[in-house]
Structure 1
Protein backbone atom coordinates (compact mmCIF):
# COMPACT_ATOMS: atom_id res chain seq x y z
CA UNK A 1 0.00 0.00 0.00
CA UNK A 2 1.28 3.47 -0.91
CA UNK A 3 2.33 5.41 2.18
CA UNK A 4 0.80 8.87 1.96
CA UNK A 5 1.61 11.40 4.70
CA UNK A 6 -1.51 13.44 3.86
CA UNK A 7 0.31 16.70 3.21
CA UNK A 8 -2.30 17.63 0.58
CA UNK A 9 0.25 19.01 -1.86
CA UNK A 10 -0.79 16.70 -4.69
CA UNK A 11 -4.37 17.98 -4.35
CA UNK A 12 -3.17 21.58 -4.30
CA UNK A 13 -1.08 21.24 -7.47
CA UNK A 14 -3.29 19.80 -10.21
CA UNK A 15 -3.40 22.90 -12.40
CA UNK A 16 -2.15 22.34 -15.92
CA UNK A 17 -2.44 18.56 -15.66
CA UNK A 18 -5.03 17.40 -18.23
CA UNK A 19 -5.65 14.18 -16.27
CA UNK A 20 -7.07 16.19 -13.39
CA UNK A 21 -8.62 19.12 -15.28
CA UNK A 22 -12.14 17.98 -14.36
CA UNK A 23 -11.23 18.34 -10.66
CA UNK A 24 -9.51 21.75 -10.92
CA UNK A 25 -11.33 24.52 -9.05
CA UNK A 26 -9.84 27.06 -11.46
CA UNK A 27 -6.95 27.87 -9.14
CA UNK A 28 -4.95 24.68 -9.64
CA UNK A 29 -6.41 23.01 -6.55
CA UNK A 30 -8.79 20.07 -6.47
CA UNK A 31 -12.35 21.20 -5.90
CA UNK A 32 -12.70 18.53 -3.19
CA UNK A 33 -9.65 19.65 -1.19
CA UNK A 34 -10.57 21.10 2.20
CA UNK A 35 -7.99 23.71 3.20
CA UNK A 36 -9.15 23.75 6.83
CA UNK A 37 -8.36 20.06 7.34
CA UNK A 38 -5.84 19.57 4.53
CA UNK A 39 -7.85 16.50 3.47
CA UNK A 40 -10.18 15.39 0.71
CA UNK A 41 -13.85 16.04 1.44
CA UNK A 42 -14.86 12.96 -0.60
CA UNK A 43 -11.93 10.69 0.31
CA UNK A 44 -13.98 7.48 0.57
CA UNK A 45 -15.59 8.22 -2.81
CA UNK A 46 -12.70 9.95 -4.56
CA UNK A 47 -12.10 9.24 -8.25
CA UNK A 48 -10.11 6.16 -9.19
CA UNK A 49 -7.35 8.32 -10.64
CA UNK A 50 -6.76 9.65 -7.10
CA UNK A 51 -6.32 6.16 -5.64
CA UNK A 52 -2.67 5.23 -6.05
CA UNK A 53 -2.98 1.51 -5.39
CA UNK A 54 -6.18 0.90 -7.33
CA UNK A 55 -4.92 2.98 -10.26
CA UNK A 56 -1.81 0.81 -10.38
CA UNK A 57 -3.88 -2.38 -10.53
CA UNK A 58 -6.09 -1.03 -13.29
CA UNK A 59 -3.72 0.93 -15.52
CA UNK A 60 -0.06 0.36 -14.72
CA UNK A 61 0.63 -3.16 -13.47
CA UNK A 62 1.41 -4.49 -16.95
CA UNK A 63 3.94 -1.77 -17.71
CA UNK A 64 5.82 -1.03 -14.47
CA UNK A 65 6.63 -2.92 -11.29
CA UNK A 66 4.86 -1.90 -8.09
CA UNK A 67 8.03 -0.77 -6.28
CA UNK A 68 9.04 1.40 -9.25
CA UNK A 69 5.52 2.84 -9.41
CA UNK A 70 5.66 3.73 -5.71
CA UNK A 71 9.09 5.26 -6.19
CA UNK A 72 7.80 7.48 -9.01
CA UNK A 73 4.93 8.62 -6.80
CA UNK A 74 7.32 9.28 -3.92
CA UNK A 75 9.56 11.31 -6.23
CA UNK A 76 6.57 13.42 -7.27
CA UNK A 77 5.71 13.98 -3.60
CA UNK A 78 9.27 15.00 -2.81
CA UNK A 79 9.35 17.48 -5.69
CA UNK A 80 6.14 19.11 -4.46
CA UNK A 81 7.53 19.32 -0.93
CA UNK A 82 10.84 20.75 -2.12
CA UNK A 83 9.05 23.38 -4.22
CA UNK A 84 6.80 24.31 -1.29
CA UNK A 85 9.84 25.38 0.73
CA UNK A 86 11.00 27.88 -1.90
Structure 2
Protein backbone atom coordinates (compact mmCIF):
# COMPACT_ATOMS: atom_id res chain seq x y z
CA UNK A 1 0.00 0.00 0.00
CA UNK A 2 1.46 3.33 -1.07
CA UNK A 3 1.31 6.16 1.48
CA UNK A 4 -1.34 8.84 1.13
CA UNK A 5 0.19 11.65 -0.95
CA UNK A 6 -0.42 14.46 1.54
CA UNK A 7 1.08 17.81 0.52
CA UNK A 8 0.76 19.16 4.08
CA UNK A 9 -1.16 22.20 2.85
CA UNK A 10 -3.20 22.25 6.07
CA UNK A 11 -6.53 22.84 4.35
CA UNK A 12 -8.18 19.83 5.99
CA UNK A 13 -7.04 21.21 9.36
CA UNK A 14 -8.57 24.59 8.52
CA UNK A 15 -11.99 23.12 7.68
CA UNK A 16 -12.74 20.71 10.53
CA UNK A 17 -16.19 22.27 10.96
CA UNK A 18 -17.40 20.72 7.68
CA UNK A 19 -17.48 17.04 8.68
CA UNK A 20 -19.40 15.71 11.66
CA UNK A 21 -16.44 13.44 12.51
CA UNK A 22 -14.02 16.37 12.95
CA UNK A 23 -16.22 19.08 14.48
CA UNK A 24 -14.99 18.20 17.97
CA UNK A 25 -11.59 19.62 16.92
CA UNK A 26 -12.99 23.05 15.93
CA UNK A 27 -11.52 25.90 17.95
CA UNK A 28 -14.51 28.05 17.00
CA UNK A 29 -13.50 29.35 13.58
CA UNK A 30 -13.49 26.11 11.60
CA UNK A 31 -9.78 25.48 12.21
CA UNK A 32 -8.49 22.60 14.31
CA UNK A 33 -7.45 23.64 17.80
CA UNK A 34 -4.20 21.70 17.31
CA UNK A 35 -3.21 23.36 14.03
CA UNK A 36 -0.30 25.80 14.15
CA UNK A 37 -1.00 28.32 11.36
CA UNK A 38 2.50 29.82 11.44
CA UNK A 39 4.26 26.48 11.05
CA UNK A 40 1.50 24.83 8.97
CA UNK A 41 1.70 21.79 11.22
CA UNK A 42 -0.13 19.80 13.84
CA UNK A 43 0.95 20.39 17.42
CA UNK A 44 -0.13 16.85 18.40
CA UNK A 45 0.87 15.05 15.20
CA UNK A 46 2.18 11.89 16.88
CA UNK A 47 -0.93 11.68 19.11
CA UNK A 48 -3.49 12.97 16.58
CA UNK A 49 -6.91 11.29 16.49
CA UNK A 50 -7.64 8.41 14.13
CA UNK A 51 -9.86 10.65 11.98
CA UNK A 52 -6.72 12.63 11.09
CA UNK A 53 -4.93 9.51 9.84
CA UNK A 54 -6.01 8.51 6.34
CA UNK A 55 -4.43 5.06 6.53
CA UNK A 56 -5.90 4.33 9.96
CA UNK A 57 -9.41 5.42 8.95
CA UNK A 58 -9.14 3.24 5.87
CA UNK A 59 -8.29 0.20 7.99
CA UNK A 60 -10.93 0.94 10.62
CA UNK A 61 -13.92 1.92 8.48
CA UNK A 62 -13.42 1.72 4.75
CA UNK A 63 -11.25 -1.26 3.75
CA UNK A 64 -14.35 -3.42 3.29
CA UNK A 65 -15.92 -0.80 0.95
CA UNK A 66 -13.04 0.47 -1.19
CA UNK A 67 -9.68 -0.55 -2.56
CA UNK A 68 -6.87 1.60 -1.14
CA UNK A 69 -6.30 3.40 -4.46
CA UNK A 70 -10.00 4.22 -4.71
CA UNK A 71 -10.05 5.52 -1.13
CA UNK A 72 -7.01 7.70 -1.84
CA UNK A 73 -8.71 9.08 -4.96
CA UNK A 74 -11.83 9.95 -2.95
CA UNK A 75 -9.74 11.74 -0.33
CA UNK A 76 -7.83 13.63 -3.03
CA UNK A 77 -11.18 14.81 -4.42
CA UNK A 78 -11.93 16.29 -1.01
CA UNK A 79 -8.49 17.93 -0.98
CA UNK A 80 -9.19 19.47 -4.40
CA UNK A 81 -12.57 20.78 -3.27
CA UNK A 82 -10.91 22.51 -0.28
CA UNK A 83 -8.41 24.19 -2.62
CA UNK A 84 -11.20 25.93 -4.56
CA UNK A 85 -12.11 29.40 -3.32
CA UNK A 86 -15.51 29.45 -1.65
CA UNK A 87 -18.32 31.31 -3.33
CA UNK A 88 -19.62 33.56 -0.58
Using the size of structure 2 for normalisation, the TM-score is: 0.90
Give 5+ residue unaligned stretches, structure 1.
none
Deviation of the 1:55 alpha carbon: 0.9
Alignment RMSD (CA, Å): 1.5
1:50 counterpart (24, 49, 52): 52
Deviations 1:19-72 (A, max 9, x none): 111101011010000011011110111001100011101110001111110000
Give 5+ residue unaligned stretches, structure 2.
none
1:10 counterpart (9, 12, 24): 12
Deviation of the 1:82 alpha carbon: 2.0
Name the count of aligned residue pairs: 85
- Distance between the aligned counterparts of 1:13 and 1:78, measured in 2? 13
Deviation of the 1:80 alpha carbon: 0.8
